[in-house]
Amino acid sequence: PVQPVQVAVAAAALAGKSAKDAGKLRAAYAAVDRHVKDKQVIGIGSGSTIVFAVDRLAERVREENLTVQCVPTSFQAIQLIRQHNLPLSDLSATPKIDVAIDGADEMTPDLACIKGGGGCLVQEKIVAYNSDTFVLIADGSKESDALGTKWTRGVPIEVIPMAYVPIQKQLEGMGATAKLRMATSKAGPCVTDNGNFIIDAHFGALQGDSLAPAALEKTLCMIPGVVDCGLFVGMAKEAFIGREDGTVMHYT
Strand partners, 121: none
The residue among 135, 141, 177 whose CA lies nearest residue 157 is 177
- The values of phi and psi at residue 193, to 5°, are -60, -20
Q: Give min distance, CB of 204 to ligand 5RP, in A.
A: 20
Q: Which residue is nearest to ligand 5RP (CB)?
A: 47
Shorter beta-carbon distance to ligand 5RP: residue 115 or 243: 115
Shorter beta-carbon distance to ligand 5RP: residue 124 or 217: 124
Q: For residues 89, 127, 145 and 1, what is the CA-based torsion angle, rounded to 10 degrees? A: -80
| Residues known to be catalytic | 124
Strand partners, 69: 41
Shorter beta-carbon distance to ligand 5RP: residue 119 or 225: 119
DSSP string, 75-121: HHHHHHHHHTTPPB--TTT--SEEEEEE--SEE-TTS-EE--TTS-H
Q: Give min distance, CB of 64 to ligand 5RP, in A.
A: 25
- The residues binding ligand 5RP (CB under 6 A) are 45-49, 102-105, 115-121, 124
Q: Give min distance, CB of 32 to ligand 5RP, in A.
A: 14
DSSP 183: P
**Contact assessment for residue 95 and residue 196, using Cβ atoms and an 8 Å cutoff:** no
Q: Give min distance, CB of 83 to ligand 5RP, in A.
A: 17
Give the number of residues written for the chain: 252
Q: Give min distance, CB of 209 to ligand 5RP, in A.
A: 27
> Which H or E run contains 127?
helix 121-129
Q: How far is CA 189 from CA 67, 197, 247, in A?
A: 40, 7, 39
Shorter beta-carbon distance to ligand 5RP: residue 93 or 183: 183
**Contact assessment for residue 249 and residue 26, using Cβ atoms and an 8 Å cutoff:** no
